[in-house]
């Protein structure tokens, strides 16, 4: 059975250390998806502003740069410890930084 999915639209930003993420523009949809699906990961881990989804799949990182406009699609992942998280299932660069 397919898991529920969410697609975030936004801009690639630098997060912590050498990591990058997507500052999600469709924030209200994302917050609703987290609540509805009882996802345990913290939405506001990167501080004030719209939530950020880390770009964690190593194959996605070389294909984008800070400032690119992207979409990232995640699905619910039930974790062994009884918590619910997400995993990336699709990542696309829509426009290169200008």
pLDDT, one tens digit per residue, over 9-68 is 999 999 988 899 999 999 999 999 999 999 998 899 998 889 999 998 999 999 899 999
pLDDT recorded at residue 1: 61
CATH top class, domain 5-95: mainly beta
pLDDT recorded at residue 10: 97
pLDDT recorded at residue 70: 98
Q: Which of 97, 91, 95, 78 has its CA nearest to residue 22?
A: 91
pLDDT recorded at residue 82: 87
Read off the pTM. 0.91
pLDDT recorded at residue 3: 84
Rounded to whole angstroms, the Cα distance separating 65 from 68 reads 6
């Amino acid at each position: 059975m397919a898991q529920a999915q969410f697609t975030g639209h936004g801009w690639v930003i630098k997060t912590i250390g050498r990591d990058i993420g997507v500052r999600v523009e469709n924030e209200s949809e994302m917050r609703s998806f987290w609540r509805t699906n009882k996802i345990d990961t913290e939405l506001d881990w990167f501080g004030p502003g719209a939530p950020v989804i880390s770009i964690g799949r190593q194959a996605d990182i070389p294909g984008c740069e800070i400032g690119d406009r992207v979409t990232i699609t995640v699905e619910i992942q039930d974790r062994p410890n009884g918590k619910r998280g997400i995993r990336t299932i699709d990542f696309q660069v829509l426009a290169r930084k200008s």
